[in-house]
């Protein structure tokens, strides 16, 4: 299928590498087109921490991710709807994807109980009791006006017994059907989440079950939860070939720059992760040759930018020595400048991959990517 062009629904494949599954595509949404492969900065509470919407646009962000769980608890989806929807509320005019809230329920709530109906939990903010159902997850996301909505799923930890993984995966299938039935706004795209734990047969079976339902794209969930890296890639390779090229494929919560390069190589289109923004606030900055920890004493008199090949605002104006000073002084500007750089790095990495696919040299790009990291000089 090298160089093929397919068109159906919201996604079209533009080009596919002859020697790799890496591909270019365009995902059409209510708030514009998204060129894939794409990385989505995470805006948990209607903000990508430390950055304004204009700074995200300057960095090249095409789409950002909002968090259903957090926005439901505070300030509330009904209030956001009254304020004109999430785009207007946060001043962002491009597409927004929102997760279902399932992961946050499982990871943040001290009390949670899974039933056929949904998930009962107590808020991590004030301990108040809530019940999140597949129907409510859709109601929240439609009120927010999300361009891409996610079905509620059950999050499977690692390790997990196969019987438990199978039970949770079957429940996710039933919730996906209910999500489709609850959907009222057809103009908003809806993706289910493939589960199955780290069991290839469960992953394969679940992917095929979800493909029988009329969704707009498919997400691979339950990955990067502590499993060995080789097992992570194996699970991607189990599901990815089963999904027709007319659908966008989203690996959730991933990941490192290496993860992005490898998953693009395997044919994945969409990614999100808190890593660039969270690591920025912790003083870890990404470069072409690896990462640097800006607090280290070796940078105290270093007049170089974070990355001499980077064109972001931070690298154009400030030295490592100054950024170290800001970080050690706990100045707010440190978090802002560090985040500008890391988000810029991630988005430019995706842009370079799209360019490499376009000219038919993705494998060359991939080889050079690792060569630069092997000879790190940062």
Is 99 designated active site? yes
Q: How far lies 106's CA from each of 99, 186, 187, 359, in Å?
A: 13, 29, 29, 43
**DSSP bridge partners of 112:** 121
Residue carrying the six token digits 């988005």: 347
Q: Nearest Cα to 180, choosing from 155, 203, 212?
A: 212
Residues 251 and 223 sit within 8 Å (Cβ to Cβ): yes
Is 272 designated active site? yes
Please tell me which residue in 21, 99, 216, 245 is annotated as part of the active site: 99
Please tell me which residue in 245, 269, 272, 307 is annotated as part of the active site: 272
Residues 97 and 147 sit within 8 Å (Cβ to Cβ): yes
Residues 6+ away with beta carbon under 8 Å from 208: 242
Q: 254: which DSSP letter?
A: B
Q: How far apart are CA 212 and CA 279, in angstroms?
A: 39
Q: How far apart are CA 97 and CA 188, in angstroms?
A: 10
Longest dimension (CA), the chain: 61
Known catalytic residues are 99, 272
């Amino acid at each position: 299928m090298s160089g093929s062009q397919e068109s159906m629904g919201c996604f079209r494949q533009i080009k596919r590498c002859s020697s790799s599954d890496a591909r270019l595509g365009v995902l059409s949404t209510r708030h514009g087109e998204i060129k894939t492969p794409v990385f989505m900065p995470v805006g948990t509470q209607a903000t990508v921490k430390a950055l304004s919407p204009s700074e995200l646009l300057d960095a090249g962000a095409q789409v950002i991710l909002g968090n259903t769980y957090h926005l439901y608890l505070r300030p509330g989806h009904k209030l956001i709807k009254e304020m004109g929807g999430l785009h207007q509320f946060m001043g962002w005019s491009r597409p927004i994807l929102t997760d279902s809230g399932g992961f946050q329920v499982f990871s943040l709530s001290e009390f949670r109980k899974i039933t056929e109906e949904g998930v009962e939990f107590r808020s991590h903010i004030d301990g108040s009791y809530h019940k999140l159902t597949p129907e409510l997850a859709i109601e929240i996301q439609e009120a927010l006006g999300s361009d891409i909505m996610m079905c509620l799923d059950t999050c499977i930890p690692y390790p997990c017994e196969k019987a438990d993984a199978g039970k949770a995966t079957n429940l996710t299938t039933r919730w996906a059907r209910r999500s489709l039935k609850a959907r009222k706004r057809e103009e908003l795209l809806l993706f289910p989440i493939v589960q199955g734990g780290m069991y290839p047969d469960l992953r394969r079976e679940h992917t095929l079950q979800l493909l029988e339902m009329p969704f707009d794209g498919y997400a691979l969930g339950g990955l990067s939860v502590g499993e060995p890296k080789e097992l992570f890639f194996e699970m991607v390779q189990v599901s990815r070939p089963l999904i027709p090229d007319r659908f966008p494929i989203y690996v959730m919560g991933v990941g490192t720059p290496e993860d992005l390069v490898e998953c693009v190589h395997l044919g994945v289109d969409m990614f999100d992760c808190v890593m660039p923004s969270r690591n920025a606030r912790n003083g870890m900055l990404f470069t072409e040759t690896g990462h640097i920890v800006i607090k280290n004493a070796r940078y105290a008199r270093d007049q170089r930018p974070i990355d001499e090949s980077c064109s972001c605002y931070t690298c154009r104006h400030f030295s490592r020595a100054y950024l170290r000073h800001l970080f050690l002084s706990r100045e707010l500007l440190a978090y802002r400048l560090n985040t500008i750089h890391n988000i810029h790095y991630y988005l430019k990495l995706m842009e370079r991959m799209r360019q490499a696919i376009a000219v038919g040299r993705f494998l060359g790009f991939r080889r050079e990517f690792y060569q630069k990291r092997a000879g790190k000089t940062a």
